[in-house]
Amino acid sequence: MLTQPSTKYRAFAPIALPNRTWPDAVLTKAPIWLSTDLRDGNQALVEPMDIDRKMRMFEQLVAIGFKEIEVGFPSASQVEFDFVRKLIDEDRIPDDVTIQVLTQARDHLITRTFESLQGAPRAIVHLYNAVAPVMRKVVLGMDEDQIVELAVTHAAMFKECAAQQPATHWTFQYSPEMFSGTDLAFSKRVVDAVTAVWAPTPAHKCIINLPSTVEHSTPNVFADMIEWMHRHLDRRDAIVLSVHPHNDRGTGTAAGEFAVMAGADRLEGCLFGNGERTGNLDLVNVALNLYTQGVAPGLDFSHIDDVRATVEHCNQIAVHPRHPYVGDLVYTSFSGSHQDAIKKAFTARKDGDIWDMPYLPIDPKDVGRSYEAVIRVNSQSGKGGMAYLLESEYGIEMPRRLQMEFMQAVQRVMDVAGKELTAADLYALFEREYGLKTVQALQHRVLEEQGEGSNASVVLRGDLPWLGETRAIEGRGNGPIDAFIHALSEATGHSVRVLDYHQHAIGAGADAQAAAYLELRVDESQTLFGVGVDADIISASLKAIVSGLERARAQGLRSVETKATELA
């Protein structure tokens, strides 16, 4: 790269539009949408779509709700021509949908284009020629007058061809190609000359489409250009003002949105931003941006993953995992602080609330995504994400201090595995760490003894599975847990104190289980949790005590082993 890029590149000149109004505009309704997936998008593919793929894409676009669809460039190839014929001959175009086709300003191409449209009930025919100085000088070798002449002659030819097929309802569209790199006065001159020929009326408008064939400037400059044209074009009330942004600077979406704020009525683009080089305007992006502002876009992405599957099949290009609204990862938070905030916001949210969720600009459910992917756990994650997954997938509602304790076990596994842990991985680890499968239910009976209030006592008798054998135990206390702790201490020689106790039901009805989380002080030296799950709440609590005691023994053994290794 150059240390002085100004020796090679020049800055785009700003537009003198001191009283510009677009920065204050607010988008309150959807523009007219035109999908050019089957034309501009298709032209950009390594392998352009065959007829089957084109048909699948067309049907997908119709299902989404597009009413104007550019279906091809019929004079460019036989497949393109045949596809237009197939749509018309097989009556595949719904009554509320209008197809559009593109042609260059050349006689034989225009003739062939109108031929492809014979029998169409309605059609938009789209004429373009280059107007930018670089194209005029280097490619076409024409001066400004010749360019105007080229556009006007072929606009007139449109009228003649259309007159020969009067049964079709025709709409004409003109694009000054590379509008984004052309001075405004000349763009206006060409467009006015074309509309003078077509003589559109407010009742029968033509479409003037202003492309940023290549993005040259920041999107505010493009918006200035659109507002300038919006204000200065002749016959504005008889024109549908359309824009066609590309995305060379990565600001296609902003350019499209600003252009509508600046007076454009219509947006051309492709699903997920496919198109030449860095792509066309991403229409899904703009539509869902509107949706998140409370504006109905008139396009339905309730099943966005199905749309993506169709687009990937037809274009044979994968959609990036971080692509707005649709990528695999766009509803996922890995970072601990994000997870924590999302978890709290989900808990605080009530049905019918306005959507106001940290890190989630749209409810994933509205586009057919589940909450499953919202929180995923990797080495960047905190206990909030882990707790959220165990709660949402397995109904485990861990108290906060248990979350902190279990997170250490998660972190140990993560450090070794170095990869994401799924909800199932976390649950398997939780089961293992707290012995949910190995700690067996204690066969026990609880007998009430005489006494009132604080003098009341119970006796608990049972068979304790311990160190590979079963020991008969008996203990007395002010309740079953207290009695069990006394019995346990006698049978195993370990003292246990309950510091904290939480319980809740998992599930409902006959299958409901009770979960008990007990924070224990063992042998007055170790503080840790035990967890028990059982159909019976007392059994769940007793299991939790054994779970904690076994963990304390295992950890004691581990530290003895570590010391022995250090000494060796």
Binding site for ligand KIV (CB under 6 A): 40, 102, 128, 175, 177, 209, 211, 213, 244, 246
Q: What is the DSSP-derived secondary structure letter of residue 262?
A: T
CB of 293 to ligand KIV, least distance (A): 27
For Zn ion, the nearest residue by Cβ is 40
3-class secondary structure for 347-371?
HHCCCCCCCCECCECCCHHHHCCCH
Q: How many residues bind Zn ion (CB under 5 A)?
A: 1
Measured from the CB atom, the residue of 135 and 552 that comes closer to ligand KIV is: 135
CB of 42 to Zn ion, least distance (A): 11
**CA separation, residue 199 to residues 124, 153, 192, 239 (Å):** 16, 14, 10, 10
Instruction: Decide which of ligand KIV, Zn ion, none touches 257; Cβ closer than 5 to 8 Å per partner kind.
Output: none
Only one of the segments 35-43, 152-160, 287-295, 373-381 lies at the binding site for Zn ion (rule: CB under 5 A); that segment is: 35-43
CB of 79 to ligand KIV, least distance (A): 19
Measured from the CB atom, the residue of 135 and 396 that comes closer to ligand KIV is: 135
CB of 32 to ligand KIV, least distance (A): 16
Please tell me whether residue 340 binds Zn ion under the rule CB under 5 A: no
In one-letter notation, the amino acid at residue 4 is Q
Q: Can you read off the two tokens belonging to residue 458?
A: 């119970």
Instruction: Decide which of Zn ion, ligand KIV, none touches 388; Cβ closer than 5 to 8 Å per partner kind.
Output: none
CB of 291 to ligand KIV, least distance (A): 26
Query: Hey, how many other C-beta atoms are within 10 angstroms of the C-beta on 172?
Result: 23
CB of 214 to Zn ion, least distance (A): 9
Backbone torsions φ then ψ of 284, nearest 5 degrees: -65, -40
CB of 270 to ligand KIV, least distance (A): 11
Measured from the CB atom, the residue of 179 and 517 that comes closer to ligand KIV is: 179
Task: Establish how many alpha carbons lie within 13 A of residue 4's alpha carbon, considering only the half-sphere containing its beta carbon.
Answer: 2
Q: Give residues with Cβ within 8 angstroms of 82, minimum separation 6.
A: 51
Measured from the CB atom, the residue of 33 and 301 that comes closer to ligand KIV is: 33
Check: CB of residue 220 under 8 Å from CB of residue 258: yes
CB of 181 to ligand KIV, least distance (A): 10
Check: CB of residue 361 under 8 Å from CB of residue 292: yes
Instruction: Decide which of ligand KIV, Zn ion, none touches 175; Cβ closer than 5 to 8 Å per partner kind.
Output: ligand KIV
Measured from the CB atom, the residue of 102 and 522 that comes closer to ligand KIV is: 102
3-class secondary structure for 43-109?
HCCCCCCCHHHHHHHHHHHHHHCCCEEEEECCCCCHHHHHHHHHHHHCCCCCCCCEEEEEEECCHHH
Measured from the CB atom, the residue of 55 and 101 that comes closer to ligand KIV is: 101
Which of 299, 239, 291 has the alpha carbon at shortest distance from 264?
Answer: 239
Only one of the segments 32-40, 53-61, 379-387, 507-515 lies at the binding site for Zn ion (rule: CB under 5 A); that segment is: 32-40
Only one of the segments 39-47, 400-408, 501-509, 551-559 lies at the binding site for Zn ion (rule: CB under 5 A); that segment is: 39-47
State the Cα–Cα distance between residues 106 and 251, nearest whole angstrom. Answer: 32
- DSSP per residue over 505-539, as a string? EES-GGG-EEEEEEEEEETTTEEEEEEEEESSHHH
β-bridge partners, 267: 33, 243
Instruction: Decide which of ligand KIV, Zn ion, none touches 162; Cβ closer than 5 to 8 Å per partner kind.
Output: none
State the Cα–Cα distance between residues 530 and 536, nearest whole angstrom. Answer: 16
Instruction: Decide which of Zn ion, ligand KIV, none touches 191; Cβ closer than 5 to 8 Å per partner kind.
Output: none
CB of 244 to Zn ion, least distance (A): 5
User: What is the per-residue binding string for Zn ion in 193-232, x denoting contact by CB under 5 A?
Assistant: ----------------------------------------
Measured from the CB atom, the residue of 248 and 305 that comes closer to ligand KIV is: 248
Helix (H, G, I), strand (E, B) or coil at 142: coil
Helix (H, G, I), strand (E, B) or coil at 565: helix
Map tokens 């309730």 to a residue: 302
Measured from the CB atom, the residue of 137 and 497 that comes closer to ligand KIV is: 137
Measured from the CB atom, the residue of 40 and 215 that comes closer to Zn ion is: 40
Instruction: Decide which of Zn ion, ligand KIV, none touches 383; Cβ closer than 5 to 8 Å per partner kind.
Output: none
Please tell me whether residue 40 binds Zn ion under the rule CB under 5 A: yes
In one-letter notation, the amino acid at residue 260 is V
CB of 264 to Zn ion, least distance (A): 15
Measured from the CB atom, the residue of 110 and 367 that comes closer to ligand KIV is: 110
Measured from the CB atom, the residue of 235 and 246 that comes closer to ligand KIV is: 246
Only one of the segments 36-44, 187-195, 201-209, 320-328 lies at the binding site for Zn ion (rule: CB under 5 A); that segment is: 36-44
State the Cα–Cα distance between residues 429 and 544, nearest whole angstrom. Answer: 16
Measured from the CB atom, the residue of 130 and 460 that comes closer to Zn ion is: 130
Instruction: Decide which of ligand KIV, Zn ion, none touches 128; Cβ closer than 5 to 8 Å per partner kind.
Output: ligand KIV
CB of 315 to ligand KIV, least distance (A): 17
CB of 43 to Zn ion, least distance (A): 8
CA dihedral 212, 217, 219, 222 (to 10 degrees): -50
Q: Give residues with Cβ within 8 angstroms of 139, minimum separation 6.
A: 130
Check: CB of residue 526 under 8 Å from CB of residue 462: no
Residues found near Zn ion in the complex (CB under 5 A): 40
